């Protein structure tokens, strides 16, 4: 008897990068390269290329919720990863949706600024990210700039990075 195991279903909840170098496009490419079946919930549309971000259109939180319901009701993700969540409303919609439709392990990438320097999250969203989404995460993956912004201080030395890692972990991620 031959049985085939379905590939892991991995959900990306992020913005779209029209240049293809980040966002859901990069996530879906990575999932596929690792033999996983990628599904997505769009949180923002960007007009961008390798030079920079020219415009951002945020998806209404109610539509983010509808996408989460749709994907989770049929494809049942084994894990999820967040990316660009630009507003507190979008973050709350994602947190509420993942509470109703858990997606296994959650990785939260607190995307705050594009590689070219364009701010991708508003100031009110940072608090929602920390209080509503971090506690649901198995792990958070801030880069150095994001860690500095989350802890509201510049982090440059290895000793500061080690201390910051502990403080970021204390914000609620499980590992």
Q: What is the rounded CA–CA span in Å between residue 117 and residue 64?
A: 25
Mean pLDDT rounded to a whole number for the chain: 91
Q: What is the rounded CA–CA span in Å between residue 80 and residue 48?
A: 24
- The pLDDT of residue 174 is 80
Q: What is the mean pLDDT of residues 31-54?
A: 93
pLDDT digits (tens, 9 = 90+) for 86-140: 999 999 999 999 999 888 899 999 998 777 777 788 888 999 999 999 999 999 9
More confident residue, 37 or 112: 37
Q: What is the rounded CA–CA span in Å between residue 51 and residue 62?
A: 32
Look at residue 36 and tell me whether its pLDDT is greater than 90: yes
Look at residue 3 and tell me whether its pLDDT is greater than 70: no
- The pLDDT of residue 14 is 97
pTM of the model: 0.91
Q: What is the rounded CA–CA span in Å between residue 95 and residue 92?
A: 5
List Cβ neighbours of 169 (8 Å cut-off, separation of 6 or more).
175
């Amino acid at each position: 008897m031959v049985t085939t195991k379905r590939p892991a279903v991995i959900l990306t909840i992020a913005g779209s990068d029209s240049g293809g170098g980040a966002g859901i496009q990069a996530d879906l490419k990575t999932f596929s390269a690792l033999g996983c079946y990628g599904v997505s919930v769009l949180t923002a549309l960007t007009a961008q290329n390798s030079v920079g971000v020219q415009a951002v259109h945020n998806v209404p939180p109610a539509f983010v919720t509808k996408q989460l319901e749709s994907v989770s009701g049929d494809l049942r993700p084994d894990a999820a990863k967040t990316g660009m969540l630009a507003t507190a409303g979008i973050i709350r919609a994602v947190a509420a949706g993942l509470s109703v439709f858990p997606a296994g392990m959650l990785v939260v990438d607190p995307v705050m600024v594009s590689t070219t320097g364009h701010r991708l999250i508003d100031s009110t969203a940072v608090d929602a990210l920390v209080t509503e989404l971090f506690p649901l995460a198995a792990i958070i993956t801030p880069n150095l700039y994001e860690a500095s912004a989350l802890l509201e201080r510049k982090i440059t030395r290895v000793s500061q990075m080690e201390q910051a890692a502990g403080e970021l972990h204390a914000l609620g991620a499980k590992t």
